[in-house]
Structure 1
Amino acid sequence: MFRIIIPFLLFVSISLSQNTRIVDVFSQKILREDFNEQNYSFTTLTGSNGEYAVIIDSLGYYAIGSGNQPYPVLVDWKNDLEEFEIKVKLRLKHEDESFVIQKIQGNKGQIIGLILKYNRDTQEALIFEINAVKQYRLSHLKNGKLKNLTQDWVFADHLKRNETNEIIIKTKGNIYEFFLNNEFTFSKNLNNLKNNFNSGDFGFYLGRKTQVIIDQFYISTLKTYNGINKLYNLSEEDAKRIIEERNQIEKQLKKEKQVATSELKEVIKLLEKELKSSNQLIDSLKKENEKFEPFQTIIEENGNFMYTLTKDLKEQMEKNNKLLNYNQELIDSIDLLIRKQDDFKLEYLRVLDSMMEKNDTINEK
């Protein structure tokens, strides 16, 4: 009898654990994004390899595309959520090949996944994916590789092809529940991975050559949550006002960044102009230096060129002074001779006068 009871209890225990459902209501709204305006938490870029991400706020959606490689896009939104509900509405680009042909060929078509609890330090995450042939799978990303947690791809008839699909994922404790288009699809107990996942980043994981449009991205949590993302029971109007203020601040920061970038470009232009002017001045100085190259040999032969030049100049000045002094002596001598000559002339005249007077006296007698 004990042999019958023990297997029965084990079966009941396993059945109960598999049928455990999350009954909690995630009533506290944390993040609601309809992409009706720009939100810089969502990456925007355009790459040359076919990758892009852009918010088309005029149409209210977030468009992402990949090239020839899988393309992860993380939401730049810090959070500490461990228990939450995420609701996403998305639509893959229309498939050109028919559903039957893709199934026969084993072609999965385009693939879009939701990244949950991505840990930047360990680079681990949970990724839930759907594809264009109405299949889904849950994987554990670790060391750059995906480990399947749902026995590869699973077909779900309630997934829609070439139409909008709604994905809802709830998690509490180590239980994860997955809903596709409002239909409960499966649950997973990840107690064996509880040490790998606490909280982390959200994001999108695109397969190769995939284009997807995201219409809604909502995250809610339990009413008892009191972490860093709590909105403190704000009314919807207050919440919208705060979000609007945040967006205005982000726009202002973006504008200031653009102004700073413009000013930096002007400074760079000015520096380039000054550099050009400096180069021209350097070229001019080089040309001037070339004129003095003949003196280089003199300088190289006589290391104390300035001393020698000064000494020679001094000697020349002394010679000039001597010549000036000698010249002055000559001038003085000439002056003296002129004066003596004048004196001689005067004396000669006096003698003549005296002789003439004597002669006159004799004649009178």
Structure 2
Amino acid sequence: MAPARRRSPASPSPLRSRRADAGLPDRLRQLLAETGPHEPLPTTRELGLRLGVANTTVFRALRRLAEAGEIWQQPGSGRYFPAGARLLLDRPKPVACLIRRLELGSELYRELLEGISAGCGAGRRTMLLWHDELLVNHPDPAEPPRFAPVAQQRAILEDFLARHGDAAGGYVLDHVWSDEALQAFADRLQPAVVLFRTCAVAPFGNVRADFRAGAFKAVGHLLGRGFERILPVHPFDGDPAVDEFAASLRTVADELGCADRLLAPAVAATAPDRRKLVQGLRRSPRRTALLCPEDNVAVLLRSALQESGIACPTAVGLLSVMGTDTASRAELSCLRYDFRQLGQAAVRTLDRGGGEARTFEPEVWPGATT
């Protein structure tokens, strides 16, 4: 008689497997209840063996629980913990804010810092706030600021990194840091995000204002309000964001075919500069709009117009580009960039490892000066 053939073990039916998968989240929750509050769950392989399912099935179930906030995956190790363990174990290094010292005319960076603070709070991160008095020196808003040259910027960065580099878990950088200075420390300043202006230095992230969109909106708003000429105001030297907006404005005027409506820039850095500018407007027979890329100087120009008896906006209009609370309080017409959103976006970019680029368009706020 021929020997009987041995039957291979029957594989689990698909129905039984689906039923096991369906109950897996509850089985994992029971295991969580038996796990210490700061202890990791077993690995997915160990869980698969213990629960009798494939480790890929366990992985998918854990991911769903993590997305629902029932468990927490530690970024470094990839292990899963009870959700409460995050408060003890998730301790990223602080975000280092390498920005100017806040002074009377620093509304832009006050608003950016509010956003950075909110972003750090949302991500349970601390801030290392470091103000350098030499990076930007601007004690009197009626006078032009003084900016550190490239060699001094390099010395400032070297000093900071020597003192605090090991403590920082990422860097948010003032827009006046030059590309040359940042390039010299590109390997050590990581991850990092440059604020407000365009920065193409790899591998820095960049959260910036869209000055091209701002220039389109400014020209459209002013011409739509009936101004015959647009006079760009140069508030002071040394600010890369000021220079970037001026270049965008010239390009946009060419593209729109209205370059002939754009006058040569006028300097407004000091009180004598502003008086000279205003006196020139008094003699002009054509309705002109001043377009100023800095709120503090725009406020000073409005005062100069009032002191000279020039009706604004009937005879001369005034549009500011930044749109901080300084412009709002003065009721200036402005392009309003949301610097608090920029600050929050900078922290989110750091959390994703830096290297990303994001732009923010402004809104036109009519105000009372156009």
TM-score (normalizing by structure 2):
0.22
- TM-score when normalising by structure 1: 0.22
Q: Which has the higher strand share?
A: 1
Bigger relative CO (Cα 8 Å, ≥ 6 apart): 1
Return the index of the structure with the highest Cα Rg. Answer: 1
